[in-house]
Structure 1
Amino acid sequence: MDFNLQRVGKLLFFCSLCGFMFAPLAVAADKFIINHSDSARDHRYQYPYELLALIIKETQADFGDASIDEANVVMSRNRILRSLKEGEAINVMAEASNQQWNTDLIAVPIPIRKGIQGLRVFIIKNENKHLLANIDSLAQLMTLQTGSGSQWSTRFAMKQAGFDVVESPQYDSLFHMLSINRFVTFGRGVNEAYKEVEIFHNLYPELIVDEHILLNIPLATYFYVSPATPRLAERIQVGLLRLIENGQFDQLFYQWHCQSLMQGQLHKRRVFKITNPLVKESQMVSITGEDFLFNPGVDVQSICQKYL
């Protein structure tokens, strides 16, 4: 694998060893083919694919051996959807829920990020921090041009709500566009923003994360599986439910996200919420119960003390 997941590699080595020792020879190993990151700076998929490695380990005894391979080309979201439907170049991806993907693919309807990707904070230029500090209403927030990927689910929700959205199909280019004032705000999941400012700091040292506003857009990240490989979807769902039950899911989730959640101080922010026509909030809690989703109104530090 050429993506940066050393811990995944260790887990999969263990899984492969166990599979070699115990799996029946007649059963072919499951092969998970995941998406290629958009660039070397794109770390958005590290958490879900480390989670996938845990799922493989948890289901080793009853599903057998498995591997995770990365697609050999970078693809747009639309091309990924087409490839997922065929199940050859790629057969699984962790992605924000939307109607077309729910129709054309097999969704494993467990929100693997506990909804935090829809808790949007804004990356801005340091010189503009006073603008968000003085915003008291959603209408005021909408007066500021905002950036988005052209195929992101949140783009559709923000445009329908009334935001003036400036789009780009290229992930890296959005940070450049923000730096040259093509737009003022760049909404990112709280799980993404702080890491991205750090990763892009050498190129754009003027970028910071706003401390005042939280835009809540209902958003569930699901594992989507090709209809050509339904066994993989079954394995993912079985493994996820086991990890939730035995506590390993929360262990991994908070180890990955506590730092960002504590930095975000979401419970101290002014919160504005818009609807997401591509997501039914009831579907986000359909399997695991409402307490599974992260509550932005809580002080997360007391929760994170158990995991850090």
Structure 2
Amino acid sequence: MDGVISHSPWRSTGCWLLAVLCACWSLLAAAGSPDVEPITPAPTLNSNETITYWYRNYDLPSTYALLQMALAMTEDLYGPTQIKRSTEISQGRALAALADHHFEQVSVMNVVVDEHREEASSLIPIPIATDQGLFGYRICIIQKKNLPLFENINSHLDVNARGIVFGQGAHWPDTRILQANQLRVVTSARYENLFDMLKGGRFNCFLRGANEVVDDLAYANDPNLIIEPNLAFVYPSAALFFVNKADVALAARIELGLRRAILSGAYAQFLREHYAKNLELLNIDQRRIIRLNNPLIDHLGLYQTKDALLSEEGKINY
């Protein structure tokens, strides 16, 4: 295949059991499977090259560390590469810049997959779920005074009966997922604005992934905002790295780096370091699960990855 990455990002053949998350390590099985073609390194990047990472990924410690690890794992083949923070542009504008190959503006993003991004002819999705489905475990950041509003909720019907409104990014797949489940959503193009909108009462719940909500609350730095303690809104989802279709060498490098990290155990250590403590703080396995449909994706591999995070009672196994 001469370094060309498959555009089908879910070639899973098995599971990797992580003690902390008990998640499905689909890639590990694929990486060791004899029927998966080995990656042939593409032409090397210039050793002095700088790649521009979307600022939201750059600022989040976990997503920055993951890209940094992938690049470090392949430095022997590709040489050192610097990661630069992009300008502060919305997810929609960043994806458009990536699709148009404005390499200096945005070279790589780590975002939730949907049918448009997965099938876009202008993008290469790196076929490794970087969050093991935790983006699909959505937790509310709320105003402390609104805690009673979220008590004794058992279904999304109860959510609507309470008049609860969610805040999400205008370009996030999660917005369409919530709307498809008949939940009310208020949007903003900019992540930062959503905190002010929450504090201003424009909506009641800023719904965030279990892998990011603790960092988001720290970013807000407001004693009147808290993480709602009892609920998790759950649907199949995952995040992938994306690059422009012209950047085959960069795609090959990131995929190879992540595969090496998984096989060496560095990826499991990364997940323990960045997610285990937060999952414990969230008391994630004791939360009441509100299951939602995700009409934006229907690939069986993604559903299998997601389901592996759940026990029969709808709680995370770990």
Q: What range describes the TM-score normalised by the shorter chain of this pair?
A: 0.7 to 0.9
* CA gap 1:74/1:276 in 2 versus in 1, 3 angstroms: same
Partner of residue 33, structure 2: none
Tell me, yes or no, if the aligned pair for 1:161 and 1:274 is still in contact at 8 Å: yes
Distance 2:180 2:305 in 1: 27
TM-score by length of 2: 0.76
* CA gap 1:258/1:237 in 2 versus in 1, 3 angstroms: same
* CA gap 1:291/1:27 in 2 versus in 1, 3 angstroms: closer
Partner of residue 195, structure 1: 215
Give the AA of the match of 2:92: N
Partner of residue 156, structure 1: 176
Partner of residue 133, structure 1: 151
The structure with the greater share of residues assigned to helix is: 1
User: SS where residue 88 of structure 2 aligns?
Assistant: coil
**After superposition, where does 1:17-56 map in structure 2 within 5 Å?**
28-29=46-47, 30-37=49-56, 43-44=59-60, 46-56=61-71
Deviations 1:248-299 (A, max 9, x none): 00101120111210011122111111122223353437xxx84996447346
Q: Post-superposition shift, 1:230? A: 0.8
Distance 2:152 2:307 in 1: 33
User: SS where residue 276 of structure 1 aligns?
Assistant: coil
Distance 1:259 1:214 in 2: 17
Distance 1:185 1:37 in 2: 20
Q: Post-superposition shift, 1:220? A: 0.9
Query: Quick one: percent identity of the two aligned structures?
Result: 26
Distance 1:291 1:160 in 2: 19
Deviations 1:84-122 (A, max 9, x none): 121422221111112222213000121101111110011
Q: Post-superposition shift, 1:221? A: 0.6
Distance 2:88 2:281 in 1: 31
Partner of residue 183, structure 1: 203
Partner of residue 171, structure 1: 191
Tell me, yes or no, if the aligned pair for 1:212 and 1:270 is still in contact at 8 Å: yes
Tell me, yes or no, if the aligned pair for 1:265 and 1:299 is still in contact at 8 Å: no
2:95 aligned with 1:78, yes or no? no
Distance 1:293 1:110 in 2: 16
Alpha carbon RMSD of aligned pairs, Å?
2.4
Tell me, yes or no, if the aligned pair for 1:144 and 1:184 is still in contact at 8 Å: yes
Q: Which has the higher contact order (CA 8 A, sep 6+)?
A: 2
User: SS where residue 188 of structure 1 aligns?
Assistant: strand
User: SS where residue 61 of structure 1 aligns?
Assistant: helix
* CA gap 1:213/1:61 in 2 versus in 1, 3 angstroms: same
Deviations 1:180-199 (A, max 9, x none): 21111121111222222233
User: SS where residue 249 of structure 1 aligns?
Assistant: helix
Deviations 1:150-179 (A, max 9, x none): 111100100111011011112122111111
Partner of residue 261, structure 1: 279
User: For 2:81, which of 66, 90, 109 is the aligned residue?
Assistant: 66
TM-score by length of 1: 0.79
* CA gap 1:279/1:197 in 2 versus in 1, 3 angstroms: same
Partner of residue 226, structure 2: 208
2:133 aligned with 1:119, yes or no? no
Give the AA of the match of 1:180: G
2:124 aligned with 1:100, yes or no? no
Give the AA of the match of 2:165: Q
2:270 aligned with 1:270, yes or no? no
Q: Give structure 2 stretches of 5+ with no counterpart.
A: 1-43
Give the AA of the match of 1:188: R
Distance 1:253 1:194 in 2: 15
Q: Post-superposition shift, 1:236? A: 0.9
Distance 2:289 2:45 in 1: 51
Distance 2:193 2:259 in 1: 37
Q: Post-superposition shift, 1:244? A: 0.9
Q: Post-superposition shift, 1:218? A: 1.6
Give the AA of the match of 1:84: L
Partner of residue 269, structure 2: 251
Give the AA of the match of 1:77: Q
